């Protein structure tokens, strides 16, 4: 009888492959069955041919977009996590800044991107900020929710047993942020692709898949448009899988019934803080 965890891994790989195959098959059947003009919607084969013919340009654009996306994603996630911790430690800071964060989400990202281009010029800086803004808010909100969800009785218990404020945060409150943090990152991994494209539309001087998509649209090159969409979809899927892999490595208790042993250092530093 095959090992159950190994079987689960195979199934997790098999199901998305089947879903992708069904989408491509349905797409091809739709185009051929209804005889859709190629300038309206190309077939999967047309897109594959275009990708093979313009592979070098697409890969170069993908690498540019990926680097912009990756740097902006790390920037937004890092600052969002630190921002949430600061807001959790200080109620006045949270009371002042939280409404500002909510208000900022009411402003369309395309409007922010136009303003950032005026302030920061064309180049890398506005693109990183736009992607970071897409990631920042979900991370802040989810991490704050994780910090607020810690059982008050547990906090009172570890404090009564002599844990310092730092160790209470490190061993009790911080682990509570992992699940909501990775939920936010998985959502942001796909949404941030949209931010990267918008950033390239408004502030790009070095190309990228977003710029390639804009050029293909302006020329009514539907095969080129769908080729760019394919690469953007790949970027979203790859980034999502990277977040899932990081979650698997950093939250082993989700996939294993064996809990880690707590370090004796948890009880040290009773006079700290």
User: pLDDT per residue over 5-22, tens digit each?
Assistant: 556 767 777 888 899 999
The per-residue pLDDT of the chain, averaged, comes to: 85
Q: For tokens 């082993």, what's the residue?
A: 252
Other CB atoms closer than 10 Å to residue 223's CB: what's the count? 22
The stretch 81-106 carries a mean pLDDT of: 87
- Angle at the Cα of 133 (from 211 to 243), degrees rounded to 5? 85
The stretch 154-180 carries a mean pLDDT of: 86
Which sequence spans correspond to the domains of the chain? 1-36, 43-255
The stretch 70-84 carries a mean pLDDT of: 94
Hey, which CATH number is domain 43-255, 1.10.3720.10, 3.40.309.10, 3.40.30.10, 3.40.1360.10? 1.10.3720.10
The stretch 171-188 carries a mean pLDDT of: 90
């Amino acid at each position: 009888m095959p090992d159950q965890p190994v079987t689960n891994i195979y199934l997790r790989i098999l199901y998305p492959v089947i879903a992708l195959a069904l989408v491509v098959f349905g797409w091809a059947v739709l185009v051929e069955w209804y005889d859709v003009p190629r300038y309206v919607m190309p077939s999967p084969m047309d897109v594959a041919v275009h990708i093979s013919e313009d592979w070098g340009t697409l890969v170069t654009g993908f690498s540019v977009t990926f680097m912009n996306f990756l740097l902006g994603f790390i920037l937004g996630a890092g600052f969002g996590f630190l921002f949430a911790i600061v807001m959790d430690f200080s109620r006045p800071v949270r009371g002042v800044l939280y409404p500002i964060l909510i208000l900022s989400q009411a402003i369309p990202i395309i409007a922010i991107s136009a303003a950032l281009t005026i302030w920061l010029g064309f180049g890398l800086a506005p693109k990183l900020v736009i992607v970071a803004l897409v990631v920042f808010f979900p991370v802040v909100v989810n991490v704050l929710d994780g910090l607020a969800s810690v059982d008050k009785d547990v906090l009172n218990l570890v404090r009564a047993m002599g844990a310092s404020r730092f160790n209470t945060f490190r061993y009790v409150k911080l682990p509570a942020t992992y699940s909501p943090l990775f939920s936010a990152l998985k959502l942001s991994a796909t949404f941030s692709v949209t931010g990267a494209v918008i950033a390239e539309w408004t502030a790009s001087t070095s190309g990228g898949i977003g710029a390639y998509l804009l050029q293909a649209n302006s020329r009514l090159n539907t095969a080129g448009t769908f080729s760019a969409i394919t690469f953007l979809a790949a970027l979203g899927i790859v980034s999502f899988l990277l977040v899932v892999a990081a979650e698997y490595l950093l939250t082993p208790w989700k996939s294993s019934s064996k809990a880690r042993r707590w370090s004796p250092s948890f009880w040290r530093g009773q006079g700290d803080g």
